[in-house]
Amino acid sequence: MNHPVLTQPIERRETDYVFPSVSIFLPFNPKMDSKRDIAKALKMAVDKAEQELFDDFSFEMAMLVMHKLKAILQNLNFSSHKKSLAIFVSPVFEKVFYLNMEIEERVLVDSSFDIRNLIKSKKQLRQYLVLQISNKECRIFANQSGELETVFLYSMKNKCDDSEIAMQNFLKRIDNTLHFILESYHLPLFILGNEFLINQFRAITVHAASVIEFISSEQENANAEYIKNILSPYMQDWQKIKYKLIAAQLRTDTKNNNLSAGMRDVFRTAGKRNSRVLLVEEGFEYPSESADSEEIIYKATQPYSRYSYIKNAVDEVIEKILDKDGDVEFVSKKMLEKHNHIALLF
């Protein structure tokens, strides 16, 4: 891009003293994607940022930010095993995140940062588990990349034994296995089978709270295409499925005391241990006008300002969780009312 040569003094505008900020969010997986493809995506993002900087901000400020941005690009870690990249840069601040979560490509040029934009740029991946039960066999499928893959197969030992006791033992073994599958994947679970088997399994399972839907189907040992088709109506409102999964995890972790709740405890815990997911109600900030003086003691360890992507203590916790490869989800208001608007699941 060609920039004008300064040959005479320029009359100062009010915007000359506004500090621009650039946020770039990109897929970044050097172990899977070619360096050429990554370089192309980076160049397109930088070109877009450059155009907007010189359109909306002073020449001096735009040049300063571009100089810092290009220095960051020259020092990116191409040995990263992560999936995404987030760059925040302004005349007075810079930060690079290498993330395990997948994010949408975005380039934001503004007068201030917001780390919450990064969370809102996460890809809404339709990943789920399916437990298919038939009279003599069960299969558990995982859809993590758009394709159903078998992650567990179990057959009844004595297929000629049609007794009720044998069926009960068979279903209990399946349910025991589900415990380990759910701990490993943390994905929504659908259960598929004929109506009789579903009712039998529903009566003995201890994981009913984790099941998004019990789906009746008379077809045994259905193939992947059939399963995807029968699940298609449930995929239309993915936000509803995600919230149902979060609510189930929240109930389980509350019961097992595997979470911190409320700003005070979450703030303390976030810096001390690895955590699985941070849940934050939409719009929740801290300290709020309703916070009492004792709670405000825990409000900050950083000087928040408009020049940083950290605006309050909630943003600081988000940063800590991302730095430890944890996940962050914003949930609807009142969903965390009993947990004082924020919860950290271990």
Per-residue pLDDT of the chain (346 residues; tens, 9 = 90+): 445 444 444 444 444 557 899 999 999 999 899 999 999 999 999 999 999 999 999 999 999 999 999 999 999 999 999 999 999 999 988 999 999 999 999 999 998 888 999 999 999 899 999 999 998 899 999 999 889 999 999 988 776 777 888 899 999 999 999 999 998 998 999 999 999 999 999 999 999 988 999 999 988 888 899 999 999 999 999 999 999 999 988 988 998 899 999 998 998 898 776 788 999 999 998 864 444 444 443 444 455 555 566 668 898 899 999 988 899 999 998 899 999 999 999 8
Going by C-alpha positions, the residue among 210, 207, 174, 175 that lies closest to residue 189 is 210
**First-to-final CA distance of the chain:** 48
Pick the CATH number of 14-119 from 3.30.960, 3.30.450, 1.20.120, 1.10.1660: 3.30.960
Domain(s) labelled CATH 3.30.960 in the chain stretch across 14-119
Q: Spell out the long-range contacts of 4-13 with Cβ–Cβ below 8 A and sequence spacing 24 or more.
A: 4/59, 6/59, 10/59, 13/58
| Three-state secondary structure call for residue 280 | strand
pLDDT of residue 148: 94
Name the token pair of 81.
């095993």
Q: Of 132, 211, 207, 141, nearest to 175 (Cα)?
A: 207
258-345: which CATH topology?
60s Ribosomal Protein L30; Chain: A; (3.30.1330)
CB 130 within 8 A of CB 143: yes
Question: Looking at domain 128-245, what is its CATH homologous superfamily?
Answer: eRF1 domain 2 (3.30.420.60)
Where do the H-state alpha helices sit in the chain? 35-56, 59-74, 116-119, 164-185, 195-204, 224-231, 238-255, 263-270, 293-296, 313-323
Q: Where in the chain is the domain with CATH 3.30.420.60?
A: 128-245
Alpha-carbon distance values, 256 to 99, 270, 341 (Å): 29, 19, 19
Residue that has been written with the tokens 């839907």 in this structure? 213
Task: Kindly report, as residue ranges, where domains of CATH 3.30.1330.30 are found in the chain.
Answer: 258-345
Angle between helices 59-74 and 35-56 (to 10 degrees): 170
